[in-house]
Amino acid sequence: MMLLTLLCSILLNTTTPQETKVDTLPSKSSHIGAQVSVLPGTAISVDRYQKTWMKKHYNMAIDARLNYRSLPKDSDHFAEDYHYPTLSVGMRYHFNHGVTMHKDKADWPGIIETDFDSQMGNIVSVYGAFSRPLLRKNRWEIDYTIIAGTGYSHRKYDKQSQIYNEMIGARWLIFFGLETSLSYQFSKDFAIQAGLTFYHHSNGAINRPNKGCNVVAPQIGVSYRPYQEETTVEKIRRHPFKPFIYWNVSPGIGLRTLFEEWQITQYSLPQDDPDHHTDQFKTYITYSLQADMMYRYARRWASGIGIDLFYGDYYKRAQELNERYDHTEKLSPWSLGICVKHEVFYHRLSLAMSAGYYLHRKMGELARQQEKSYYERIGINYVIPGLGGIKIGAHVKAHLTKADLTELVISVPIVKDRRLLSSNW
């Protein structure tokens, strides 16, 4: 999660090289395009633990998306700032049966080894995407794409046929991806492209197991781009922007399961216990409050610092689990952190990222074995029309890529002149 946050921040702050093609407007223009592609991929192991039981890594995906691009005639200031990006909705089908898992008794003493492997189930994902050009020159284009959506898996962990599948523990999943590609416009309306993709499926700690599936894949495709000539322009118009400082107060409510409960049911319970290798875990409610001071220094970007307050009633259960292992430290439901924040805007949508450090957190020794003293957050927000800039968002909090919780956040901006907000939607 930290890596994804840093990559997003770097990519979205990249300045685009100036294009060289003269801005000539075709007689007929269209905002709508399409793309189809194939992605022969490899599932990657993120740590030594996963390497011991993930045996085969190969998968394949097919992707189709419908694209929209603003045109110079639209006078869209955001589109001009981003050098006419492409917004997409798409669907991707992942053929995952080539990803297999098995725990060998030699590596896992004490387990009862089965005579079969667990296979990942196929996943269908729907998503939204934002593609920004880094270079448009003559017939060539280099761009990057950020993808976010949801997926549905045909298989998940269970104690019978999917006992080794620690990657996917729920049917409904969070889907996130990063792409970079090079394309060549071989005719007025059509292009071919090739690139590299990373994507991730997991359940955001709402269920267990939640190792997640991370895939790296080359991508090859063809796209229909009737707008390409019109948006390959010589000069991008710049529009004035007045920077301003504002405050954000953001309460949140989230869901999570406990990794400690997963560990106990996997490795500590006797095999005749009904909860041994269970796939049923209690979901706990979490609460948070963020208070931030942000500086909107460009139409696209704002950065700042903040204080994060967390409350987790699950600390009572964590106390019981720690005492089971003779850890008698008194736990607290409250956690406090300080963080740096960055938010990227496109009209009413925004991508929020933050990295924080705990000033106070006492969730026990078992949690410390999995967590770090720092944390990350990433999420997508939407400004609700008619509510003075109030945003609703879905965020994931993590510790070094390991999801801690998924939450719904309401963000209330406080600014001296509210017209500064409304003028930038």
pLDDT in tens, the chain (425 residues): 544 454 455 444 544 444 333 344 444 568 999 999 999 999 999 888 899 999 999 999 999 999 999 998 888 999 999 999 999 999 999 999 999 999 988 888 777 788 899 999 999 999 999 999 999 988 999 999 999 999 999 999 998 889 999 999 999 999 999 999 999 999 999 999 999 999 999 999 999 999 999 999 999 999 999 999 888 876 777 788 999 999 999 999 999 999 999 988 988 888 888 998 999 999 999 999 999 999 999 999 999 999 999 999 899 999 999 998 889 899 999 999 999 999 999 999 999 999 999 999 999 999 998 899 999 999 999 999 999 899 999 999 999 878 999 999 999 999 988 777 776 77
Q: Is 318 within 8 Å of 332 (Cβ atoms)?
A: no
Cα–Cα dist 271/274, whole Å: 8
**Residue 83 φ/ψ region, left for φ over 0, alpha for ψ in the -120 to 50 degree band, beta for the rest:** left
Cα–Cα dist 328/79, whole Å: 57
For residue 272, which amino acid is it? D
Q: How confident is the model at residue 7, as a pLDDT?
A: 47
Cα–Cα dist 216/214, whole Å: 7
CB atoms within 10 A of CB 12: 21
In the block, tokens 């085969």 appear at 56
Q: How confident is the model at residue 238, as a pLDDT?
A: 79
Cα–Cα dist 34/66, whole Å: 5
Q: What is residue 291's three-state secondary structure? A: strand
Extended beta strands in 257-373, E state? 284-296, 301-312, 334-346, 349-361
**pLDDT (tens digit per residue) in 189-219:** 999 999 999 999 999 999 999 999 999 999 9
Distance between start and end Cα atoms, the chain: 28
How much is the pTM?
A: 0.89
Q: How confident is the model at residue 4, as a pLDDT?
A: 47
Q: How confident is the model at residue 132, as a pLDDT?
A: 95
Q: 3-state DSSP helix/strand/coil percent for the chain, to nearest 5?
A: 15, 50, 40
DSSP for 89-140?
Answer: EEEEEEE-TTEEE---TTTSTT----SS-EEPPPEEEEEEEEEEEEEEETTE
Q: What is the CA 421 to chain-centroid distance, rounded?
A: 26
Structure tokens at 173: 């999943």
Q: How confident is the model at residue 306, as a pLDDT?
A: 98
Closest CA to 85 of 96, 77, 93, 94: 77
- CA angle in degrees (0–180, nearest 5) for 285-393-203: 55
Q: How confident is the model at residue 308, as a pLDDT?
A: 98
Q: How confident is the model at residue 28, as a pLDDT?
A: 58
Q: What crossing angle do the helices spanning 315-324 and 259-267 adopt, rounded to 10°?
A: 30
Extended beta strands in 225-274, E state? 244-256
Rg of the Cα atoms in the chain: 24
Q: How confident is the model at residue 160, as a pLDDT?
A: 86
What is the enclosing helix (H) or strand (E) of 363? Answer: none
CB atoms within 10 A of CB 320: 12
Q: Is 288 within 8 Å of 310 (Cβ atoms)?
A: yes
Structure tokens at 239: 């529009």
Q: Residue 72 to residues 21, 48, 75, 82, 223: CA-CA distances in angstroms?
A: 14, 51, 6, 12, 21
Closest CA to 361 of 377, 338, 383: 338
Q: Is 173 within 8 Å of 152 (Cβ atoms)?
A: yes
**pLDDT (tens digit per residue) in 260-284:** 999 889 888 888 889 989 999 999 9
Q: How confident is the model at residue 13, as a pLDDT?
A: 53
